[in-house]
């Protein structure tokens, strides 16, 4: 085999050589035997055929030997495969997205690239995601391949061992341009990698911050806008640090929005009512949100600085 460029290559290549050795041995041996018999026992030599019909000993031998050999091959193949499924905990995560007929690689935070750039000697886990039909993610030099199937969370991992450029193919048939669905992976120094990643513009979907997800899931944004619009409740835009008038116990007082105020507004909204809004619209969230979740929400609200 040609040079393998990942930590997994050696195992694959060793299994390959083992099977190759067995295969060549038997193929050559059996072929030679056949040719030899054809000459040795040729009818032209005019010897009568011997009429034996079999031998139990031989049958046992040539059941046992192949059985042992195939079990060895099986075991070896499995042993060298097992590491491919054990992803180290500290592996960097990249999502490979297959669509007809191109690859893109999502590094998180909206950073999406058409080629796969990786730091050398660092474990990466590729999460494989398909948006349409089956594809196959295949880097021959790394000896890794896994199908990319819609609705499946397939993955593979490896550690690139050498710097350089390697081909990435789509191995699973996916229609017209299946053969054109290839790209490259570039393995570089970790420092270069960081540089490259930082300079990569964030063009993809930036995933929601955890606080925002909570706001969405709990239903807060039904009443509170993020963009300044006035809904049932006051907007969250630029809310942190804002000074405004609230009515507490019937008296108008000016407060500055800080952590304590936010917490009390969430847990006990009836206490201070923002001027211009109605009391009793918002239910207390005392039992519905944990302290940790409220902290996340507040952290997120802090980031909503307006323009």
Partner 1 sequence: MSHSETHPQVSYLEYQGKYKGILGWLTTTDHKRIALLYMYCIVVFFFVAAILGLTMSIEKMRPGQDIMNAQTYNGLFTVHGIIMIFMIVIPGLAAVFGNFALPLLIGARDVAFPKLNLFSWYLYVIGAILAVLSQLLKGGAPDTGWTFYVPYSAGSSTNVIWALTAAFILGFSNILTGLNFIVTIHRMRAPGMTWFKMPLFPWSLYATAWIQVLATPIVGITLLMVIAERVLHIGFFDPALGGDPVLFQHLFWIYSHPAVYIMILPAMGVITEIFPTFSQKPVFGYGAIAISSLAIAFVGYFVWGHHMFTSGISYWSKWFFSFLTFIVAVPSAIKVFNWISTMYGGSIQMRPPLLYAISFVFLFMIGGFTGLFLGALATNVQLHDTTFVVAHFHYIIFGGMGFAFFAAIHYWYPKMYGKMYSDRWAYIAWGFTFVGFNLLYFPQFIIGVQGMPRRYFDYLPQFQWGHMLSGFGAFILLIGLILMAWNLIYHVKRGAIAPANPWKGVTLEWQIASPPTLENFEEIPVIKHNPYWFGTEEEIKREKKSVTRNT
> Is-contact 129 97, C-beta < 8 A?
yes
* Single residue of 4, 11, 98, 233 touching ligand CUA by CB under 6 A: 98
Figure out which of the listed residues 129, 135, 143, 224 binds ligand CUA, where binding follows CB under 6 A: 135
What are the CA-CA distances from residue 165 to residues 5, 113, 124, 129 (Å)? 10, 15, 16, 23
Site for ligand CUA in 176-215 (CB under 6 A): 178, 181
How far apart CA 28 and CA 219 sit, in angstroms, is 73
Q: Contact between 136 and partner 1 (CB under 8 A)?
A: yes
Q: Is 69 in the site for ligand HEA (CB under 6 A)?
A: yes
- Contact between 262 and partner 1 (CB under 8 A)? no
50 is in the binding site of which of partner 1, ligand HEC, ligand HEA, none (Cβ under 5 to 8 A by kind)? partner 1
The one among 29, 88, 219, 241 contacting ligand HEC by CB under 6 A: 219
Q: And the tokens for 20?
A: 């190759």
- 158 within 8 A of 85, measured Cβ to Cβ: no
> Of 28, 30, 64, 206, which one interacts with ligand HEA (CB under 6 A)?
30
Q: Does 96 bind ligand CUA (CB under 6 A)?
A: no
Tell me the CA distances in angstroms from 243 to 71, 91, 254, 266, 294, one per residue in order: 76, 46, 7, 17, 21
Distance CA 213, CA 41 (A): 82
Give the one residue of 36, 152, 162, 173 binding ligand CUA; rule: CB under 6 A: 173
Between the alpha carbon of residue 5 and those of residues 125, 150, 186, the distances in Å are: 16, 29, 12
Q: Which is nearer to ligand HEA, 70 or 195 (CB)?
A: 70
| Interacting residues with ligand HEA (CB under 6 A) | 22, 26, 30, 66, 69-70
């Amino acid at each position: 085999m040609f040079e393998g460029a990942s930590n997994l290559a050696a195992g694959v290549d060793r299994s390959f050589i083992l099977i190759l050795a067995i295969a060549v041995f038997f193929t050559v041996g059996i072929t030679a035997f056949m040719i030899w018999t054809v000459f040795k026992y040729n009818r032209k030599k005019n010897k009568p055929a011997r009429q034996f019909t079999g031998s139990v000993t031989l049958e046992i031998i040539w059941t046992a030997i192949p059985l042992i050999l195939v079990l060895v091959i099986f075991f070896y193949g499995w042993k060298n495969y097992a590491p491919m499924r054990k992803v180290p905990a500290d592996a960097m995560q990249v999502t490979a997205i297959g669509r007809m007929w191109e690859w893109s690689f999502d590094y998180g935070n909206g950073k999406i690239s058409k080629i796969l750039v990786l730091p050398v000697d660092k474990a990466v886990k590729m999460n494989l995601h398909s948006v349409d039909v089956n594809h196959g993610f295949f880097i021959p030099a790394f000896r890794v391949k896994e199908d990319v199937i819609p609705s499946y969370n397939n993955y593979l991992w490896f550690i690139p061992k050498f710097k350089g450029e390697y081909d990435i193919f789509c191995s699973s048939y996916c229609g017209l341009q299946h053969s054109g669905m290839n790209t490259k992976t570039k393995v570089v120094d970790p420092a270069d990698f960081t540089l490259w990643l930082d300079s990569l513009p964030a063009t993809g979907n930036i995933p929601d911050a955890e606080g925002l997800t909570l706001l969405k899931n709990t239903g807060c944004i039904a009443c509170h806008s993020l963009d300044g619009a006035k809904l049932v409740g006051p907007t969250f835009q630029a809310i942190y640090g804002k000074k405004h008038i609230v009515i507490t116990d019937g008296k108008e007082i000016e407060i500055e929005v800080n952590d304590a105020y936010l917490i009390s507004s969430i847990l006990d909204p009836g206490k201070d009512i923002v001027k211009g809004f109605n009391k009793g619209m918002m239910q207390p969230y005392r039992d519905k949100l944990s302290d940790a979740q409220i902290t996340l929400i507040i952290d997120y609200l802090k980031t909503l600085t307006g323009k």
